[in-house]
Chain A
Amino acid sequence: MKDQFLDRERKSAKRLASMQIPNSFKKVGVLIAAISFIGLIANKLILNAEEIRFLCRHGLIVGFLIISIARDKQEDEFIKDLRLKSYFFAFIFCVAYSVVMPYIDYLVDLFRDKESVLKDSGDFMILWMLICVQVFYFEYLKRLFK
């Protein structure tokens, strides 16, 4: 009974860990990210509406997430290894970023004679950095081992 339960748990954990979507979705991700990016810039220049900014930021993250979990044209074990390395690097980079960045911001503000306040990097910034670093580092690794 216990073994059966553990076996089922192992299977579902394995399935969850290797969750990927077909390669064709990569284009959808690029499209969503591009539209959101253009929307962000247009909103900044024309409307400056908080709701549009919120939607575009989420669109950007969703777009990059789709790119991140979309399979490569030929996803073999070497590509999977590079993908794993890119997630590892992105995780370490973002934890370091979120810990160090508030202090850098604080020091920069201090030297610019601005009012210095210690504040967090923010949810969007951390998520954006995480997903962005993973996607670009993965592409960088693929080119490095071409």
Chain B
Amino acid sequence: MKNTIKVERAILNITQEQLADKINVTRQTINSIEKNRYVPSTVLALKLSKVFNKPVNEFFELTDEDK
């Protein structure tokens, strides 16, 4: 799974810390998701979707490894 959270964050002009505060997680969690080291739960993905105001599949994408 790859994602464009970093880009979406840049569009909103917010830091990892600020994004983490918005969805009640740690900065570590955002950092790990951005670096594709952690795949978030559906709940967290939907919270991100609400912040970015976009559907989940616009910033999360399946890779060949997931198929």
Taking beta carbons and an 8 Å cutoff, which residues of A are in contact with B? 74, 76-79, 81, 142, 145-146
Contact = CB atoms under 8 A, between A and B. Distances in A.
Question: Which of B26, B32, B40, B41 has the most CB atoms of chain A within a 10 A radius of its CB?
Answer: B26
Nearest to A75: B26
Count class of interface residues, chain B: 10 to 19
Interface of B: 24-26, 28-29, 31-32, 37-38, 40-41, 43-44
B25 A145 contact: no
Contacts of A78: 25-26, 28-29, 32, 38, 40
Consensus secondary structure, chain A interface: helix
A74 B25 contact: yes
Contacts of A81: 38
B46 to A, nearest CB: 13
Which 7 A-B pairs give the minimum distances between C-beta atoms? A78-B29, A76-B25, A74-B26, A145-B32, A77-B41, A76-B29, A78-B38
B28 A145 contact: yes
A38 B63 CA distance: 53
A95 to B, nearest CB: 27
5 contacts: A74-B25, A76-B24, A77-B43, A78-B28, A145-B32
A77 B44 CA distance: 9
A115 to B, nearest CB: 51
Given A74-B26, A76-B26, A79-B29, 8 more contacts: A74-B25, A77-B29, A77-B41, A77-B43, A77-B44, A78-B25, A78-B28, A78-B32
